[in-house]
């Protein structure tokens, strides 16, 4: 056995004794010492391998410490009696786990592949911030403030519901600018809006419970409801958002997921009449509404419209907001405003699931809000994105007038283009790719099929000249 | 109606028009204009309230934009016809949601209250890092590096499975120092070990599936299994950890949760013979083992023992590790090494649930590891904590010799003291509190009851003199 193939790397960061130990351990477990149960004496081993005796002794010590070998003074070093010596005892075919039904549903979910093969020259991807707008210098200073002065903040687990000054800053902001009715106690910080939807689905839904979703709509939320066993009822949208009048009369749904500020992905703001009708529906059904206000701050025609949540006098609306769109996605910070009765169960669930979000980032965001940087940054974003959106719409008029339709809502970070009848969206996506333009199919966002051909164009990651050039190329590519 | 109580705060950050809008909106929804459907003319309103006409006009504009009122040129401003005018239509009793059975289990879970009423003078709390050991200056520099040079890293969603250089650094480290067999592809970054347990429970367990857990053991993992519908079988531990021989012969468990490096909270390292027996049990049952290596780095008598995971030739062990104990808890970064067949379902689940951990921190931790700071920091921690542990054990010898028992394992961040028969742990916790010493009951960690009286003493958050003084007081307090 001692003549097996040994390899030692003297340049490695791994000490030599550890390299020897690892190879001996593997050899023992594979039964290489089965015939004798005895390791070669340290001196002999050292000589044959060209190692120092101390190196071999340290390796044997480690094997002894872990119970692989027993040292008998005067007799030598022996494989411990409980170590299997026949290699056929060891299964080497990788284990194949059996997934639960939840696991099988997860495995069957089509996760959009962020295919990085060929990044298009002009990429109308969405869900991207425009990096140069964010005030990195201020952000760096705020982080550094906590890094240098408050070590204790880093060294403890934070509060599960979130860092209280951030919850307070959010409650102030949401009350003032989004018309949300809340106190800090009802605001909980989550690691992205998806986590809030997942926890809510688990807290509220039994298998086969019905949930109303928009079509087209936010597919990832719908996927979480389905994963948790719910049955989806897809309600169509128009340029004014969720068609409350299309909720089936026989629906027994106790939960609805909607995007009233700016319907995702179609675009459009739910008018007051529909908001009130939706709230009345919820009261009649004793249902809850999840309002996903994923980009309510990003309106380009004046002050943002107030949230649906503020219209509900009986806390029947759960409000979701996120920093991903208005600060940056990698922050992974979102928040939820809960009905009073749901705060405790939600926080208990979060306590068990992940113990809360990192404290440092929350502290920096709280200061960013309290010290006025947030509102200033939002003004910059609205100006920058509003101009980009105008550029996009002007280019669509120039190059695709009459050929495509879209909800002309001065809001959000993308436009959804409905293509002419008979055109297939994959053909358009492909033709655009061939001229270096990335556009994205809308089909994954429809909950009912067949869906009308449509594509999504995000504009927040591109400059105005890129947007104009991209639409020009798109117009030529789809040859209309 | 115009004579209702109006309040305006001219010092507020909220503009006056917004304050008026908010009060008008509330009044409209409460039916205050029910008798006339008409708002007072702007001039009259401005005069009565002592506001500028432009302020009232802006408030009316906002109400009109949101659909509450309609302006009829020449006639005035009217409540929109769809706005309910009778206040009795509006429910004001807060909504009471119906929780799912999962939600009811969550609500019924006793979450340890981090009671902050009276923080004890000497607090043997555990799960705390000793803040002065961490190299904040280096950490700050690493964060600043990414904050200043790579804005794009902040502005995109990160990889769901984690930042690849961190996964690679972890794979190298775990292979070299923890005896784990893995590549970066099998390492996934999670927001705390609890998240990994939750996802695994959901992926693997059907309702009423049996799971083996240790008693005493890690109660929060057990709680997650129970939440997800599993039946727990509690297997006792001794000073050598999990009693594999006590697994019931009729057990049909396909999953076991163990802490082989240092049994939590009893203390003790699982010897090789039991490790091999556990792996054989798993092969016979076609079961998976979750190895929670929550503090495997923290051994004070030489090199850490290799992980159980490395002994399994067929990927039957899932390895959990965390940075909470060795960097700082507020980081909220842990990692899991998965069997190849589980990587894809796990990442798909994480994609839907929360889209991955923040990129910036991961990048800084990756550099912290690759540039050698991590191993240096671990050496400092081992020295500092090892000395604290020795101080604690010496003080126990001085003040409580013969009265208490504990596993004398030179590892970890706490010691579990078994109290004499007949002593109740709540009485000891109370007596200690009265002399300014915080110790913690062990009962919540037992999965089978009645449990022997025991308390937990964490030592990582205290200085050596505090530890000695705390144990001296404890000895007097429990009057042994």
Length of chain A: 480
Name the nearest CA neighbour of A106 among B204, B208, B160.
B204
The pLDDT tens digits along chain B (480 residues) read 556 788 999 888 788 998 999 899 888 887 777 777 888 999 999 999 999 999 999 999 989 988 899 988 888 999 988 887 554 455 667 888 889 988 998 888 765 555 455 688 999 987 666 666 788 888 888 887 877 655 556 655 668 899 999 999 999 999 988 989 999 999 999 998 999 999 999 999 999 999 999 999 999 999 999 999 999 999 999 999 999 999 999 999 999 999 999 999 999 999 999 999 999 999 999 999 999 998 888 888 876 788 999 998 889 999 999 988 888 777 889 999 999 999 999 999 999 888 877 788 898 999 999 999 999 999 999 999 999 999 999 999 999 988 899 998 899 999 999 998 888 999 999 999 999 999 999 999 999 888 999 999 999 889 999 999 999 999 998 875
Nearest to B204 among A84, A100, A139 (CB): A100
Cis-peptide, bond into residue A450, ω within 30° of zero = yes
Question: A232 at the B interface (CB within 8 A)?
Answer: no
Kindly state the average pLDDT of the residues A152-162. Answer: 71
Q: Which of residues 135-164 of B touch A (CB under 8 A)?
A: 136, 139-140, 143-144, 147-148, 151-158
**Nearest chain B Cα distance for residue A447, angstroms:** 17
For B209-224, give the DSSP string: -EEEEEES--HHHHHH
Helical (H) or strand (E) element with B62: helix B53-65
Residue A75 CB contacts under 8 Å (≥ 6 apart), including other chains: none
Residue B15 structure tokens: 């503009």
Instruction: Give the C-alpha separation, A452 to A215, whole Å.
Output: 11
Q: Which of B24, B62, B96, B97 to mutate to test the interface with A (most CBs of A within 10 A)?
A: B97
Q: Which of A18, A99, A103 to mutate to test the interface with B (most CBs of B within 10 A)?
A: A103
CB spacing of A154 vs B341 below 8 angstroms: no
Task: Name beta bridge partners: A78.
Answer: A38, A70
Q: Which residues of B touch A349 (CB under 8 A)?
A: 103, 106
CA distances from A465 to A122, A271, A391, A395, B155 (A): 10, 34, 8, 10, 21
Q: Which of residues 76-95 of A touch B (CB under 8 A)?
A: 80, 82-84, 90-95
Nearest to B314 among A94, A147, A209 (CB): A94
- Cα B123 to chain center, whole Å? 20
Over the Cα atoms of chain B, what is R_g? Answer: 30
**Nearest chain B Cα distance for residue A479, angstroms:** 33
Contact status, residue B211 vs residue B329, Cβ threshold 8 Å = no
Listed as own residue / partner, the contacts of A362-365 with beta carbons closer than 8 Å and 24 or more positions apart are: A362/A158, A362/A162, A362/A163, A362/A166, A362/A189, A362/A333, A363/A146, A363/A150, A363/A153, A363/A163, A363/A165, A363/A166, A364/A139, A364/A142, A364/A143, A364/A145, A364/A146, A365/A166, A365/A169, A365/A323, A365/A327, A365/A331, A365/A333
Question: A15 at the B interface (CB within 8 A)?
Answer: no
Q: Which of A330, A345, A351 to mutate to test the interface with B (most CBs of B within 10 A)?
A: A330
Residue B466 structure tokens: 């505090």
The interface predicted TM-score (ipTM) is: 0.87
Over the Cα atoms of chain A, what is R_g? Answer: 30
**Nearest chain A Cα distance for residue B421, angstroms:** 33
Q: Which of residues 309-338 of B touch A (CB under 8 A)?
A: 311, 313-316, 324, 328-332
Q: Which residues of A touch B306 (CB under 8 A)?
A: 25, 66
**Nearest chain B Cα distance for residue A391, angstroms:** 22
Length of chain B: 480
Instruction: Give the C-alpha separation, B142 to B202, whole Å.
Output: 36
Task: Encode burial over A231-258: b for 16+ CB neighbours within 10 A, e otherwise.
Answer: ebbbbebeebbbebeebeeeeebbbbbb
- Residue recorded with tokens 């070093």: A77
Residue B343 CB contacts under 8 Å (≥ 6 apart), including other chains: B161, B185, B186, B188
DSSP letter at B141 equals H
Neighbours of B407 (CB within 10 A): 21
Query: What band does A67 get if pLDDT is binned at 50, 70 and 90?
Result: confident
Phi, psi torsion values for A157, nearest 5 degrees: -65, 140
Residue A267 structure tokens: 């675009």
Classified as helix, coil or strand, B124 is coil
Q: Which residues of B touch A254 (CB under 8 A)?
A: 98
- Residue recorded with tokens 């009109």: B64
Q: Which of B16, B31, B103 to mutate to test the interface with A (most CBs of A within 10 A)?
A: B103
Name the nearest CA neighbour of B288 among B364, B200, B349, B215.
B200
Q: Which residues of B touch A277 (CB under 8 A)?
A: 82
Q: How many beta-carbon pairs below 8 A join chains A and B? A: 306
Task: Name beta bridge partners: B470.
Answer: none
CA distances from B463 to A450, B298, B328, B414 (A): 68, 17, 17, 14
Residue B360 structure tokens: 């910036």
For residue range A356-406, what is the model confidence (pLDDT) as tens digits?
Answer: 777 888 989 999 999 999 999 999 999 999 999 999 999 999 999 888 999
Q: Which of residues 190-209 of B touch A (CB under 8 A)?
A: 191-192, 194-195, 198, 202-206
Neighbours of B234 (CB within 10 A): 17
Nearest-Cα residue of chain A relative to residue B158: A330
Phi, psi torsion values for B375, nearest 5 degrees: -65, -35
For residue range A424-438, what is the model confidence (pLDDT) as tens digits?
Answer: 999 999 999 999 999
Strand-pair category, B187-190 with B440-441: unpaired
């Amino acid at each position: 056995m001692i003549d097996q193939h040994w390899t030692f790397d003297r340049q490695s960061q791994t000490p030599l004794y550890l390299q020897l130990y690892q190879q001996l351990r593997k050899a023992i477990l594979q039964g290489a010492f089965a015939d004798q149960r005895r390791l070669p004496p340290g001196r002999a081993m050292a000589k044959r391998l060209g190692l120092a005796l101390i190196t071999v002794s340290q390796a044997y010590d480690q094997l002894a410490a872990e119970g692989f070998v027993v040292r008998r003074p005067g007799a030598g070093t022996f494989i411990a009696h409980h170590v299997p010596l026949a290699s056929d005892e060891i299964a080497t075919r990788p284990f194949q786990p059996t997934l639960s039904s939840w696991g099988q549903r997860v495995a069957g979910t089509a996760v959009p592949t962020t295919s990085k093969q060929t990044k298009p020259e002009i990429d109308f991807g969405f869900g991207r911030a425009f990096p140069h707008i964010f005030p990195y210098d201020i952000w760096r200073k705020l982080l550094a403030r906590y890094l240098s002065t408050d070590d204790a903040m880093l060294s403890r687990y934070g509060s599960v519901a979130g860092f209280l000054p951030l919850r307070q800053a959010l409650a102030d902001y949401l009350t003032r600018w989004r018309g949300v009715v809340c106190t800090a106690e009802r605001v909980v910080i989550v690691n992205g809006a998806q986590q809030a939807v997942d926890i809510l689905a688990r807290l509220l839904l039994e298998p086969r419970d019905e949930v109303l979703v928009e079509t087209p709509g936010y597919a990832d939320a719908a996927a979480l409801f389905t994963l948790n066993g719910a049955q989806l009822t897809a309600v169509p949208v128009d340029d004014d958002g969720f068609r409350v009048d299309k909720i089936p009369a026989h629906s027994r749904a106790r939960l609805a997921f909607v995007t009233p500020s700016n319907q995702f992905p179609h675009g459009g703001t739910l008018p007051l009449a529909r908001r009130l009708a939706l709230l009345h529906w919820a009261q009649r059904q004793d249902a809850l509404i999840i309002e996903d206000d994923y980009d309510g701050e990003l309106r380009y025609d004046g002050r943002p419209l107030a949230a649906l949540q503020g219209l509900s006098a009986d806390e029947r609306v759960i409000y979701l907001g996120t920093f991903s769109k208005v600060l940056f996605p990698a922050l992974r910070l979102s928040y939820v405003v809960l009905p009073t009765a749901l705060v405790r169960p939600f926080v208990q669930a979060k306590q068990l699931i992940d113990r809360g979000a990192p404290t440092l980032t929350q502290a920096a965001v709280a200061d960013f809000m309290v010290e006025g940087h947030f509102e200033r940054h939002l003004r910059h974003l609205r100006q920058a994105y509003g101009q980009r959106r105008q550029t996009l719409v002007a280019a669509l008029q120039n190059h695709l007038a009459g050929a495509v339709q879209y909800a002309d809502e001065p809001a959000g970070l993308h436009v959804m283009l409905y293509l002419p009848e008979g055109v297939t969206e994959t053909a358009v996506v492909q033709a655009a790719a061939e001229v270096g333009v990335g556009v994205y199919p809308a089909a994954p966002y429809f909950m009912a099929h067949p869906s009308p051909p449509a594509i999504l164009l995000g504009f927040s990651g591109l400059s105005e000249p890129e947007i104009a050039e991209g639409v020009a190329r798109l117009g030529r590519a789809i040859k209309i």
